Amino acid sequence: MVQVESGRTRILDSAAAILRHKGLAGAKLSDIARGAGMLAPSIYHHFPSKDHLVEEVMMEGIYHNNRHIMARVEGLGSGASPLVRLRAAIVAHVDFLLAGDDYSSAVARVFDDLPDEMRKRVLAAYSSFDNYWRDLIVAAQKDGSASKALDATVVRKFLIAMLDSCSSWYRPGKLGPAQISEQAADLLLYGFATERP
């Protein structure tokens, strides 16, 4: 028997899609409800407020993305070098965003606009993810395969900002998602210049 998607899930899916494309202030409850096949007040049967709904989308986005990246990296097996693991994480992150996951794209889009208290909670949930990236980066430095001259925190911030941006500018065309993610990894790991200084 096929269980039709519940009303609650349809609301979350719709909210994620609209937050992703229109931002926090641009995501009206009436639009979200329409995407879920209902009218705005019906949302309140499932969520106590817009803020609660948004926060749940953020948490789902972080969780989905996190799981996807970890699964790909850990799927490499125990023999993979730190640099190979870092590369896999970069590729997985871009692939995931460009595969069109509305939840994780919504996080990248509206995080800066969240109300202060909510942003703190979302950031706390995000921190396990952040730590995972930090570990990948630091492991590559310890192992000698990545530059110790670059600050691990600066690298992480720049790397994540760069990767997160792709869902806002990528449009299908001559390059597919797979090419974009490979280029992201090549650019970050080996740089744009052909020779070292």
Partner DNA sequence: GTCTATAATCAGATAGAC
Partner DNA sequence: GTCTATCTGATTATAGAC
183 counts as binding a copy of itself under rule CB under 8 A? yes
Cβ neighbours for 103, distance < 8 A, ≥ 6 positions apart: 16, 57, 60, 61, 64, 65
DSSP string, 2-49: -PPPPHHHHHHHHHHHHHHHHHHHH--HHHHHHHTTS-GGGGGGT-S-
Q: Which of 21, 22, 23, 40 binds DNA (CB under 7 A)?
A: 40
Q: Which is nearer to a copy of itself, 59 or 152 (CB)?
A: 152
C-beta of residue 143 within 8 angstroms of C-beta of residue 81 = yes
Residue 75, binding choice from a copy of itself, DNA, none, Cβ under 5 to 8 Å by partner class: none
User: 189 is written with which tokens?
Assistant: 């790991």
Which range binds DNA by CB under 7 A, 30-38, 111-119, 122-130, 152-160?
Answer: 30-38
Q: Which of 83, 118, 125, 138 binds a copy of itself (CB under 8 A)?
A: 83
46 counts as binding DNA under rule CB under 7 A? yes
Binding site for DNA (CB under 7 A): 6-8, 27-30, 33, 38-42, 44-46, 48-51
